A and B are shown apart, each in its own frame.
Chain A
Amino acid sequence: MDRRKSIQTIILGAGASALAFHGCKTEGDNKANGEIPATGDTKYFGRTPEELERIEKLNAEQLFNEHELETIAVLSTVILPPKEPNGGPIEAEVPEFIEFVGKDMPEMQPTLLGGLMWLDHKSNTEFGTEFKSATLEQQKQICDEICWHDPETPLEEQPLEIQFFASMRNLVVTGYYTSKVGIADLGYKGNQPNVWDGVPQEVLDKHGMAYDPDWIAKCVDQSKRNEIAEWDEKGNLIT
Protein backbone atom coordinates (compact mmCIF):
# COMPACT_ATOMS: atom_id res chain seq x y z
CA MET A 1 0.00 0.00 0.00
CA ASP A 2 1.18 3.51 -0.81
CA ARG A 3 2.62 4.87 2.42
CA ARG A 4 1.28 8.39 1.94
CA LYS A 5 -2.20 7.06 1.28
CA SER A 6 -2.04 4.89 4.35
CA ILE A 7 -1.17 7.87 6.54
CA GLN A 8 -4.03 9.87 5.05
CA THR A 9 -6.40 7.00 5.83
CA ILE A 10 -5.17 6.81 9.40
CA ILE A 11 -5.54 10.53 9.90
CA LEU A 12 -8.98 10.71 8.37
CA GLY A 13 -9.89 7.70 10.48
CA ALA A 14 -9.02 9.71 13.56
CA GLY A 15 -12.13 11.78 13.06
CA ALA A 16 -10.25 14.69 11.61
CA SER A 17 -12.12 14.21 8.36
CA ALA A 18 -14.91 16.31 9.75
CA LEU A 19 -12.51 19.20 9.60
CA ALA A 20 -11.21 18.47 6.12
CA PHE A 21 -11.90 20.72 3.18
CA HIS A 22 -11.85 19.45 -0.33
CA GLY A 23 -11.08 20.91 -3.72
CA CYS A 24 -9.16 23.91 -2.43
CA LYS A 25 -7.73 25.96 -5.23
CA THR A 26 -4.82 28.35 -4.96
CA GLU A 27 -4.72 31.59 -6.83
CA GLY A 28 -1.87 32.69 -9.01
CA ASP A 29 -1.09 29.46 -10.81
CA ASN A 30 1.86 29.78 -13.13
CA LYS A 31 1.05 31.66 -16.25
CA ALA A 32 2.62 30.28 -19.39
CA ASN A 33 5.74 32.08 -20.47
CA GLY A 34 7.41 31.20 -23.73
CA GLU A 35 10.88 31.47 -22.26
CA ILE A 36 10.41 29.08 -19.38
CA PRO A 37 11.30 25.44 -20.02
CA ALA A 38 9.04 22.71 -18.74
CA THR A 39 9.30 22.02 -15.02
CA GLY A 40 7.13 18.97 -15.30
CA ASP A 41 9.38 16.32 -13.84
CA THR A 42 7.69 16.29 -10.46
CA LYS A 43 9.03 12.92 -9.45
CA TYR A 44 12.49 14.36 -9.23
CA PHE A 45 11.72 17.92 -8.07
CA GLY A 46 15.34 18.49 -9.00
CA ARG A 47 16.75 15.66 -6.88
CA THR A 48 19.87 13.79 -7.80
CA PRO A 49 19.38 10.00 -8.00
CA GLU A 50 21.18 9.61 -4.62
CA GLU A 51 18.91 12.19 -2.97
CA LEU A 52 15.85 10.54 -4.43
CA GLU A 53 16.96 7.16 -3.19
CA ARG A 54 17.31 8.53 0.33
CA ILE A 55 13.81 10.00 0.21
CA GLU A 56 12.41 6.67 -0.97
CA LYS A 57 14.23 4.86 1.81
CA LEU A 58 12.77 7.23 4.41
CA ASN A 59 9.31 6.88 2.91
CA ALA A 60 9.54 3.11 3.33
CA GLU A 61 10.27 3.46 7.05
CA GLN A 62 7.69 4.23 9.71
CA LEU A 63 8.43 6.44 12.70
CA PHE A 64 5.06 7.03 14.36
CA ASN A 65 2.53 4.26 14.94
CA GLU A 66 -1.13 4.67 14.06
CA HIS A 67 -2.10 6.00 17.45
CA GLU A 68 0.73 8.54 17.45
CA LEU A 69 -0.14 9.76 13.95
CA GLU A 70 -3.76 10.20 14.97
CA THR A 71 -2.65 12.15 18.03
CA ILE A 72 -0.42 14.36 15.86
CA ALA A 73 -3.35 14.99 13.51
CA VAL A 74 -5.63 15.97 16.38
CA LEU A 75 -3.03 18.14 18.13
CA SER A 76 -2.10 19.92 14.90
CA THR A 77 -5.68 21.05 14.36
CA VAL A 78 -5.85 22.30 17.94
CA ILE A 79 -2.67 24.31 17.34
CA LEU A 80 -3.82 25.72 14.01
CA PRO A 81 -7.58 25.28 13.60
CA PRO A 82 -8.75 25.02 9.98
CA LYS A 83 -10.37 28.09 8.53
CA GLU A 84 -12.31 28.80 5.34
CA PRO A 85 -11.29 28.90 2.55
CA ASN A 86 -7.78 27.50 3.00
CA GLY A 87 -8.28 24.62 5.38
CA GLY A 88 -5.81 23.66 8.05
CA PRO A 89 -3.06 21.19 8.91
CA ILE A 90 -4.86 18.14 7.51
CA GLU A 91 -5.36 19.69 4.06
CA ALA A 92 -1.73 20.82 4.24
CA GLU A 93 -0.62 17.23 4.94
CA VAL A 94 1.09 18.38 8.12
CA PRO A 95 1.03 14.94 9.84
CA GLU A 96 2.71 13.36 6.77
CA PHE A 97 5.27 16.17 6.83
CA ILE A 98 6.00 15.63 10.54
CA GLU A 99 6.33 11.88 9.98
CA PHE A 100 8.87 12.55 7.20
CA VAL A 101 11.01 15.17 8.91
CA GLY A 102 11.03 13.12 12.10
CA LYS A 103 12.87 10.46 10.09
CA ASP A 104 14.89 12.97 8.10
CA MET A 105 16.11 14.74 11.25
CA PRO A 106 16.26 11.95 13.82
CA GLU A 107 17.50 14.30 16.55
CA MET A 108 13.87 15.42 16.92
CA GLN A 109 12.59 11.96 17.74
CA PRO A 110 13.06 11.81 21.53
CA THR A 111 11.19 15.11 21.99
CA LEU A 112 8.36 14.20 19.63
CA LEU A 113 7.87 10.62 20.81
CA GLY A 114 8.32 11.54 24.47
CA GLY A 115 5.95 14.48 24.17
CA LEU A 116 3.22 12.32 22.65
CA MET A 117 3.53 9.92 25.61
CA TRP A 118 3.38 12.85 28.01
CA LEU A 119 0.16 14.09 26.36
CA ASP A 120 -1.59 10.75 26.88
CA HIS A 121 -0.28 10.39 30.42
CA LYS A 122 -1.53 13.85 31.29
CA SER A 123 -4.88 13.31 29.64
CA ASN A 124 -5.35 9.91 31.29
CA THR A 125 -4.42 11.33 34.67
CA GLU A 126 -6.69 14.35 34.43
CA PHE A 127 -9.57 13.07 32.33
CA GLY A 128 -9.29 9.29 32.23
CA THR A 129 -8.91 9.19 28.45
CA GLU A 130 -6.20 9.47 25.80
CA PHE A 131 -5.49 12.93 24.42
CA LYS A 132 -6.96 12.25 20.98
CA SER A 133 -10.27 11.11 22.50
CA ALA A 134 -10.58 13.95 25.00
CA THR A 135 -12.98 16.81 24.27
CA LEU A 136 -11.62 19.93 22.61
CA GLU A 137 -12.04 21.78 25.89
CA GLN A 138 -9.97 19.15 27.72
CA GLN A 139 -7.33 19.18 24.98
CA LYS A 140 -7.06 22.95 25.24
CA GLN A 141 -6.78 22.74 29.01
CA ILE A 142 -3.72 20.52 28.58
CA CYS A 143 -2.21 22.72 25.85
CA ASP A 144 -2.74 25.88 27.90
CA GLU A 145 -0.32 24.51 30.48
CA ILE A 146 2.52 23.92 28.03
CA CYS A 147 2.13 26.51 25.27
CA TRP A 148 3.94 29.37 27.01
CA HIS A 149 7.46 29.47 28.21
CA ASP A 150 9.83 31.91 29.78
CA PRO A 151 11.80 33.35 26.83
CA GLU A 152 14.69 34.16 29.17
CA THR A 153 15.47 30.45 29.67
CA PRO A 154 16.83 28.52 26.67
CA LEU A 155 14.22 26.10 25.36
CA GLU A 156 16.46 23.07 25.75
CA GLU A 157 16.58 23.74 29.51
CA GLN A 158 12.80 23.74 29.81
CA PRO A 159 10.71 20.65 30.68
CA LEU A 160 10.15 18.10 27.91
CA GLU A 161 6.47 18.92 27.45
CA ILE A 162 7.30 22.61 26.89
CA GLN A 163 9.96 21.70 24.33
CA PHE A 164 7.55 19.28 22.69
CA PHE A 165 4.81 21.84 22.29
CA ALA A 166 7.20 24.46 20.92
CA SER A 167 8.53 21.94 18.37
CA MET A 168 5.06 20.85 17.36
CA ARG A 169 3.90 24.44 16.96
CA ASN A 170 6.91 25.18 14.74
CA LEU A 171 6.34 22.08 12.63
CA VAL A 172 2.61 22.68 12.30
CA VAL A 173 3.02 26.33 11.29
CA THR A 174 5.88 25.66 8.89
CA GLY A 175 4.13 22.58 7.49
CA TYR A 176 0.93 24.51 6.89
CA TYR A 177 2.53 27.60 5.36
CA THR A 178 4.74 25.60 3.01
CA SER A 179 1.71 23.75 1.63
CA LYS A 180 -0.43 24.76 -1.30
CA VAL A 181 -3.34 25.80 0.93
CA GLY A 182 -1.07 27.56 3.40
CA ILE A 183 0.66 29.58 0.69
CA ALA A 184 -2.77 30.62 -0.56
CA ASP A 185 -3.70 31.63 3.01
CA LEU A 186 -0.51 33.66 3.34
CA GLY A 187 -1.15 35.30 0.00
CA TYR A 188 2.39 34.88 -1.37
CA LYS A 189 2.25 35.86 -5.05
CA GLY A 190 5.75 34.94 -6.20
CA ASN A 191 7.48 31.90 -7.67
CA GLN A 192 6.25 32.69 -11.14
CA PRO A 193 7.66 34.60 -14.10
CA ASN A 194 6.90 38.29 -13.99
CA VAL A 195 8.42 41.66 -14.75
CA TRP A 196 9.35 43.57 -11.59
CA ASP A 197 8.75 47.27 -12.01
CA GLY A 198 8.71 48.57 -8.49
CA VAL A 199 6.40 48.71 -5.48
CA PRO A 200 2.78 49.59 -6.43
CA GLN A 201 1.88 53.20 -5.64
CA GLU A 202 -0.87 52.30 -3.16
CA VAL A 203 1.59 50.17 -1.18
CA LEU A 204 4.13 53.01 -1.12
CA ASP A 205 1.38 55.32 0.12
CA LYS A 206 0.29 52.87 2.82
CA HIS A 207 3.83 52.80 4.25
CA GLY A 208 4.53 56.49 3.70
CA MET A 209 7.30 55.76 1.21
CA ALA A 210 8.20 57.29 -2.16
CA TYR A 211 10.75 56.56 -4.83
CA ASP A 212 13.55 59.07 -5.31
CA PRO A 213 13.20 60.24 -8.95
CA ASP A 214 17.00 60.38 -9.39
CA TRP A 215 17.33 56.79 -8.26
CA ILE A 216 14.48 55.56 -10.47
CA ALA A 217 15.94 57.34 -13.50
CA LYS A 218 18.88 54.91 -13.36
CA CYS A 219 16.71 51.79 -13.10
CA VAL A 220 15.65 49.46 -15.85
CA ASP A 221 13.09 50.64 -18.37
CA GLN A 222 11.16 47.40 -18.66
CA SER A 223 9.71 48.36 -22.04
CA LYS A 224 13.26 48.06 -23.41
CA ARG A 225 14.35 44.93 -21.61
CA ASN A 226 14.49 42.91 -24.81
CA GLU A 227 16.60 45.43 -26.74
CA ILE A 228 20.21 44.29 -26.79
CA ALA A 229 22.38 46.42 -24.50
CA GLU A 230 24.90 48.80 -26.04
CA TRP A 231 27.06 51.38 -24.31
CA ASP A 232 28.99 54.49 -25.32
CA GLU A 233 32.70 54.67 -24.57
CA LYS A 234 32.08 56.06 -21.09
CA GLY A 235 29.88 53.16 -20.04
CA ASN A 236 26.57 54.94 -20.51
CA LEU A 237 23.83 52.62 -21.68
CA ILE A 238 22.45 53.87 -25.02
CA THR A 239 19.74 51.30 -25.80
Chain B
Amino acid sequence: MNQGGMLKPALIAGVLLGILSALPLIQWVNSCCCAWVIGGGIFAAYLYVRESAEAVTLGRGLALGLLTGVIGGIVSVLMSLPLLYISFANTKVLEELSKSVEHVPDLSPQVRETLQHLLSDPLRSLSFFATIGGAMVTVMSAIFAMAGGAIGVALFEKRKPGQISAETPPATTSGPPPELPPPPPLQ
Protein backbone atom coordinates (compact mmCIF):
# COMPACT_ATOMS: atom_id res chain seq x y z
CA MET B 1 0.00 0.00 0.00
CA ASN B 2 1.49 3.32 -1.03
CA GLN B 3 0.41 5.06 2.16
CA GLY B 4 2.76 7.95 1.61
CA GLY B 5 1.01 8.56 -1.72
CA MET B 6 -2.37 8.70 0.05
CA LEU B 7 -1.43 11.39 2.53
CA LYS B 8 -0.85 14.23 0.07
CA PRO B 9 -4.15 13.95 -1.82
CA ALA B 10 -5.99 13.49 1.49
CA LEU B 11 -4.30 16.61 2.92
CA ILE B 12 -5.04 18.76 -0.11
CA ALA B 13 -8.66 17.65 -0.48
CA GLY B 14 -9.23 17.56 3.29
CA VAL B 15 -7.99 21.10 3.85
CA LEU B 16 -10.09 22.33 0.91
CA LEU B 17 -13.26 20.64 2.13
CA GLY B 18 -12.59 21.86 5.68
CA ILE B 19 -12.27 25.45 4.51
CA LEU B 20 -15.40 25.26 2.34
CA SER B 21 -17.35 23.62 5.18
CA ALA B 22 -16.37 26.39 7.60
CA LEU B 23 -16.94 29.49 5.46
CA PRO B 24 -20.22 31.27 6.26
CA LEU B 25 -22.91 30.97 3.55
CA ILE B 26 -20.75 28.64 1.42
CA GLN B 27 -20.98 25.97 4.14
CA TRP B 28 -24.74 25.67 3.47
CA VAL B 29 -23.96 23.51 0.43
CA ASN B 30 -23.27 20.79 3.02
CA SER B 31 -26.98 20.89 3.86
CA CYS B 32 -27.49 19.05 0.56
CA CYS B 33 -26.37 15.72 2.03
CA CYS B 34 -22.80 16.84 2.76
CA ALA B 35 -22.07 17.83 -0.83
CA TRP B 36 -18.71 19.50 0.02
CA VAL B 37 -17.61 16.46 2.02
CA ILE B 38 -18.54 13.95 -0.69
CA GLY B 39 -16.95 16.28 -3.24
CA GLY B 40 -13.80 16.35 -1.12
CA GLY B 41 -13.64 12.57 -1.17
CA ILE B 42 -14.13 12.53 -4.95
CA PHE B 43 -11.39 15.15 -5.43
CA ALA B 44 -8.97 13.21 -3.21
CA ALA B 45 -9.65 10.07 -5.28
CA TYR B 46 -9.01 12.02 -8.50
CA LEU B 47 -5.63 13.27 -7.22
CA TYR B 48 -4.63 9.83 -5.94
CA VAL B 49 -5.64 7.94 -9.12
CA ARG B 50 -3.71 10.47 -11.20
CA GLU B 51 -0.49 9.88 -9.30
CA SER B 52 -0.74 6.21 -8.37
CA ALA B 53 1.35 3.86 -10.50
CA GLU B 54 -0.90 0.93 -9.64
CA ALA B 55 -4.64 0.71 -10.30
CA VAL B 56 -6.53 2.04 -7.29
CA THR B 57 -9.20 -0.24 -5.86
CA LEU B 58 -12.51 0.76 -4.29
CA GLY B 59 -11.22 -0.30 -0.85
CA ARG B 60 -8.28 2.09 -1.13
CA GLY B 61 -10.67 4.82 -2.25
CA LEU B 62 -12.64 4.17 0.92
CA ALA B 63 -9.49 4.44 3.08
CA LEU B 64 -8.47 7.62 1.26
CA GLY B 65 -11.94 9.08 1.82
CA LEU B 66 -11.75 8.23 5.53
CA LEU B 67 -8.42 10.06 5.86
CA THR B 68 -9.73 13.01 3.84
CA GLY B 69 -12.87 13.27 5.96
CA VAL B 70 -10.96 13.21 9.25
CA ILE B 71 -8.56 15.92 8.04
CA GLY B 72 -11.46 17.96 6.66
CA GLY B 73 -13.45 17.65 9.89
CA ILE B 74 -10.52 18.82 12.00
CA VAL B 75 -9.79 21.77 9.68
CA SER B 76 -13.46 22.74 9.63
CA VAL B 77 -13.66 22.74 13.43
CA LEU B 78 -10.44 24.73 13.83
CA MET B 79 -11.64 27.33 11.33
CA SER B 80 -15.03 27.61 13.06
CA LEU B 81 -13.45 28.28 16.48
CA PRO B 82 -13.08 32.08 16.08
CA LEU B 83 -16.75 32.45 15.13
CA LEU B 84 -17.80 30.13 17.94
CA TYR B 85 -15.69 32.15 20.38
CA ILE B 86 -17.40 35.38 19.31
CA SER B 87 -20.83 33.76 19.81
CA PHE B 88 -20.02 32.35 23.24
CA ALA B 89 -18.25 35.51 24.42
CA ASN B 90 -21.59 37.28 24.06
CA THR B 91 -23.17 36.86 27.49
CA LYS B 92 -26.67 37.52 26.11
CA VAL B 93 -26.38 34.36 23.97
CA LEU B 94 -25.36 32.32 27.00
CA GLU B 95 -28.22 33.78 29.05
CA GLU B 96 -30.74 32.88 26.35
CA LEU B 97 -29.37 29.35 26.13
CA SER B 98 -29.48 28.99 29.90
CA LYS B 99 -33.12 30.19 29.96
CA SER B 100 -34.08 27.71 27.22
CA VAL B 101 -32.46 24.87 29.20
CA GLU B 102 -34.73 25.78 32.15
CA HIS B 103 -37.80 25.31 29.94
CA VAL B 104 -36.93 21.88 28.52
CA PRO B 105 -39.54 19.65 30.22
CA ASP B 106 -37.94 16.19 30.14
CA LEU B 107 -34.48 17.03 31.48
CA SER B 108 -33.36 15.37 34.68
CA PRO B 109 -32.31 17.86 37.40
CA GLN B 110 -28.68 16.65 37.25
CA VAL B 111 -28.42 17.19 33.49
CA ARG B 112 -30.13 20.60 33.80
CA GLU B 113 -27.69 21.64 36.52
CA THR B 114 -24.69 20.41 34.51
CA LEU B 115 -25.80 22.30 31.40
CA GLN B 116 -26.42 25.49 33.34
CA HIS B 117 -23.02 25.17 35.00
CA LEU B 118 -21.43 24.83 31.54
CA LEU B 119 -23.33 27.81 30.20
CA SER B 120 -22.29 30.02 33.12
CA ASP B 121 -18.75 30.42 31.75
CA PRO B 122 -17.99 31.37 28.10
CA LEU B 123 -14.70 29.45 27.89
CA ARG B 124 -16.18 26.36 29.49
CA SER B 125 -19.17 26.46 27.10
CA LEU B 126 -16.91 26.97 24.09
CA SER B 127 -14.66 24.05 25.08
CA PHE B 128 -17.60 21.72 25.67
CA PHE B 129 -19.57 22.54 22.53
CA ALA B 130 -16.46 22.70 20.35
CA THR B 131 -15.34 19.27 21.57
CA ILE B 132 -18.72 17.56 21.21
CA GLY B 133 -19.60 19.34 17.99
CA GLY B 134 -16.11 18.81 16.60
CA ALA B 135 -16.21 15.08 17.29
CA MET B 136 -19.63 14.81 15.63
CA VAL B 137 -18.55 16.82 12.57
CA THR B 138 -15.35 14.78 12.18
CA VAL B 139 -17.19 11.43 12.36
CA MET B 140 -19.84 12.56 9.84
CA SER B 141 -17.15 13.98 7.55
CA ALA B 142 -15.25 10.71 7.65
CA ILE B 143 -18.33 8.65 6.77
CA PHE B 144 -19.46 10.82 3.86
CA ALA B 145 -15.94 11.35 2.51
CA MET B 146 -15.53 7.55 2.43
CA ALA B 147 -18.52 7.43 0.12
CA GLY B 148 -16.94 10.20 -1.96
CA GLY B 149 -13.67 8.26 -2.15
CA ALA B 150 -15.42 5.16 -3.47
CA ILE B 151 -17.39 7.24 -6.02
CA GLY B 152 -14.21 9.00 -7.13
CA VAL B 153 -12.34 5.75 -7.74
CA ALA B 154 -15.31 4.36 -9.68
CA LEU B 155 -15.36 7.50 -11.84
CA PHE B 156 -11.67 8.12 -12.47
CA GLU B 157 -9.87 4.76 -12.29
CA LYS B 158 -9.78 3.29 -15.78
CA ARG B 159 -7.02 0.72 -15.24
CA LYS B 160 -8.00 -2.83 -14.36
CA PRO B 161 -7.19 -4.05 -10.81
CA GLY B 162 -3.55 -5.03 -10.49
CA GLN B 163 -2.57 -3.14 -13.63
CA ILE B 164 0.49 -0.94 -13.36
CA SER B 165 0.70 2.23 -15.40
CA ALA B 166 3.10 2.01 -18.35
CA GLU B 167 4.39 5.53 -17.69
CA THR B 168 5.98 4.52 -14.38
CA PRO B 169 9.77 4.76 -14.73
CA PRO B 170 11.62 1.62 -13.59
CA ALA B 171 13.35 1.77 -10.22
CA THR B 172 17.04 2.51 -10.68
CA THR B 173 19.60 0.10 -9.25
CA SER B 174 23.33 0.33 -9.00
CA GLY B 175 25.63 -2.36 -10.37
CA PRO B 176 25.27 -4.67 -13.36
CA PRO B 177 21.89 -6.27 -13.93
CA PRO B 178 21.85 -9.94 -12.89
CA GLU B 179 20.60 -11.17 -16.31
CA LEU B 180 23.89 -10.36 -18.13
CA PRO B 181 25.72 -13.51 -19.27
CA PRO B 182 29.23 -14.06 -17.90
CA PRO B 183 32.06 -12.76 -20.12
CA PRO B 184 33.53 -15.35 -22.54
CA PRO B 185 36.80 -17.00 -21.38
CA LEU B 186 40.02 -15.61 -22.88
CA GLN B 187 41.59 -17.88 -25.50
Instruction: State yes or no: do A and B come from one complex.
Output: no
List residues of chain B with CB under 8 Å of any chain A CB: none
Residues in A lying within 8 Å of B, measured CB to CB? none
